[in-house]
Amino acid sequence: MIIVQILLPLTQLFPLEYLAPEELQLIIGDLVIVPFRNKMCTGVVWSTSNIRNNNTITPKIVQQKVPGDFTLNSRTMNFINKASSYYLSSLGSMAKLILPIDISVSPIKTRHQHIPSHFNLPNLSTNQHEILTKLRMVNKPTLIHGVTGSGKTEIYFHLVAEYLQAGAQALIMLPEIALSNHIIQRFINRFGFEPVIWNSSITKAQKKMSLRGILDGRVRMVIGARSSLFLPYTNLGLIIVDEEHDSSYKQEEGILYNARDMAVLRGSLENAKVVLVSATPSIETIYNVQIDKYHNIPLENRYSGATISPVEIIDLRKERLPYNNWLSHSLSTAIQENLLKKEQTLLFLNRRGYAPLMLCSSCGYRFTCGSCSAWLVVHKNSKRLECHHCGYICKIHLACPECFTEDHLIACGPGIERIAEEVQRLFANYRITIVSKDEITNANKMQALLHKMENNEIDILIGTQMITKGYHFPNLTLVGIIDADLGLMGGDLRAAERTFQLLHQVGGRAGREHKPGKVLLQTYYPDHIVFSTLKDNAEEQFIEYELNNRRDANLPPFTRMASIILTGKNEHKIFDYAKQLVAIAPKSNVKILGPAKAMLTKLSGKYRYRILIITAKKFNLQQYLKTWLALVKFPSSCQIRVDIDPQNFM
């Protein structure tokens, strides 16, 4: 027998030594079954040698290869290693992303895909065909920067077709499950077969079958969320990252990876084409285009001659909204005119529920979550208060729990339920529908909603950001943005960028065919750069402004950033540990900020402190953090997480 190292896909684990019978003829990457903690697990051969075991301690023995004789290729093994080093995660944790389901557990079935010889793809316009030709010729990551409704999806569908016909595997990544259902149906109509779907709604049995099919090459088309990037492809030729700017590509639990950035890494290791797609690209992607790391292909016109909908700003300082009203006179009038034309309206507010806060007008008591430093959100339709961070739920009180006064509890501020209440009062004879995660709880409900919109069975749609991307409603001609200022609150360095992207996407739902559209934007800050550039359709001006701000403030993408988050139940101890950690930081040319309370200081019963590290682009940030964190060992009551390239500062 010889000694081999086996990497098990388990959190915080490193390769372990096993004995392997020589007749197994193991090579690096082979999937094998080994004993581990009184059970059998699937692992991957991380290294082999011709050294025979002479130790007094005898390692456990590799039992067999996984039925089907599967092997991770060298490119996937390299990806595990590099991604693990970048995010300072254990190899086992990264392998868990590659092999999230044990494929050797019975019943053993493999997913097959039959790829038709002919696809039902519509002809591209001259402009779209030119872009497809450019895509074929470029050898670096490429951005398709196309306005909403310009036909970006049809272009990359044609590219997918070429790779499938060449026998390669292709991946389309999408930021949200709700959006993927729309694209999936469109894909099936165009290609005549079902892609493998990979997201949190898929069962373990389905995932196991799909994993085996991906490993043996019988599955060649995957559409999925961020985790689909890490699957064990054997011949990955094309990666599409749709809505590349979307913040949900950043994983906020476990390994804090950014799937968009890892797509670029994996593409380089696989020699696969990487295409980033967005109407509002991230500042990081724009910067990479400017330094010639990525190639940019602009798509400036809407498909079939549809025009960009003009944006009109409603200055709420002048409108003087009546008490408990949230729709201005200008917006209400525009809705009425649109209804008379028998055209559809979308009202957008990125806030679920009825109101973000309930308080007592007698003593000032505010209903807050006991486990998080957050207010409880009022959900009037379901008659409950809810924490949107930890999920805590309770009934709406009839009396104040502090002063016991009845009839003095007030809901403050609007959520979409409250907007719907006002719209119902103003336009009682029309068909009004709410769309948010509270109402649309599964794919079937979303499909039913889309069907109603497309068949003009809804007059006014009131929704959160889940309805803003990728949907095409031919008769939707008016978009009203209720509280455009909402996203600018807080200290997030990307607040302006994200608000611009979100509102641009929302406005892009209007006037997508030959009927002209209009976007009305309510704000108390009409002169803000976000709103003025949206009004003037001056995206380049906003990007230049944002890049100059980041450059002047020495922030990404001109620098690198990492965050260290310390978490525990005892706030004073966590703060002390954070101060100790800062005190022993190795001397170097880095900027260390903090420790400071996280914006959401308490989350699920634990207190959180942050340390922010900013360095030059070429500085070896990972090595510095490894050296620093090795200097201290805190008790298990203090959890430490490192977030490379943080996107969320909550």
Are the C-beta atoms of 288 and 140 separated by less than 8 Å? no
Is 400 annotated for ligand binding? Answer: yes
- Give the span between the Cα atoms of 489 and 528, in whole angstroms: 13
Q: Is 390 annotated as a binding residue?
A: yes
* Cβ count near 130 (within 10 Å): 14
Classified as helix, coil or strand, 160 is helix
Q: What is the DSSP letter of 22?
A: G
C-alpha dihedral (24, 30, 32, 37), degrees to nearest 10: 120
Contact in structure between 48 and 2 (CB atoms under 8 Å): yes
Residues in Cβ contact with 524 at an 8 Å cutoff, skipping those fewer than 6 apart:
315, 316, 317, 485
Question: Are 505 and 279 within 8 A, CB to CB?
Answer: yes
Residue 394 is labelled as binding a ligand = no
Which residues, 6 or more positions from 322, have their beta carbon under 8 angstroms from its beta carbon? none
In sequence order, which residues have a C-beta less than 8 Å from that of residue 1 and are 6 or more positions away?
Answer: 19, 20, 21, 22, 52, 53, 61
- The side-by-side arrangement of strands in the sheet containing 393-395 is 377-379, 384-386, 393-395
CA 471 → CA 74, 186, 289, 387, distances in Å?
39, 11, 27, 29
Q: Environment class of residue 471 by beta-carbon count within 10 Å: exposed (0-12), middle (13-18) or buried (19+)?
A: buried
Which of 330, 280, 315 minimizes the C-alpha distance to 152?
A: 280
Using alpha carbons only, what angle is made at residue 55 by residues 54 and 59, rounded to the nearest 5 degrees?
Answer: 105
Q: Is 638 labelled as part of a ligand binding site?
A: no
Q: Is 412 annotated as a binding residue?
A: no
Q: How far apart are CA 222 and CA 227, in angstroms?
A: 11
Sign of CA dihedral 572, 577, 580, 581: negative
Q: Which two tokens stand for residue 354?
A: 């009825």
Q: What are the residues whose beta carbons fall under 8 Å from the beta carbon of 74, sequence distance 6 or more?
A: 28, 29
The answer to the question of whether 372 is labelled as a binding residue is yes
- Consecutive H or E run containing 644: strand 639-644
Fill in the amino acid letter for 109: K
Helix (H, G, I), strand (E, B) or coil at 20: strand
Place of tokens 């590659």: 98
At 311, give phi and psi (nearest 5°): -105, 125
41 is in an annotated binding site: no
Identify residue 87 by its one-letter amino acid code.
Answer: Y
CA triplet 647, 248, 624: central angle to 5 degrees? Answer: 35
**Binding residue positions for Zn(2+):** 360, 363, 369, 372, 387, 390, 400, 403
**Binding residue positions:** 360, 363, 369, 372, 387, 390, 400, 403
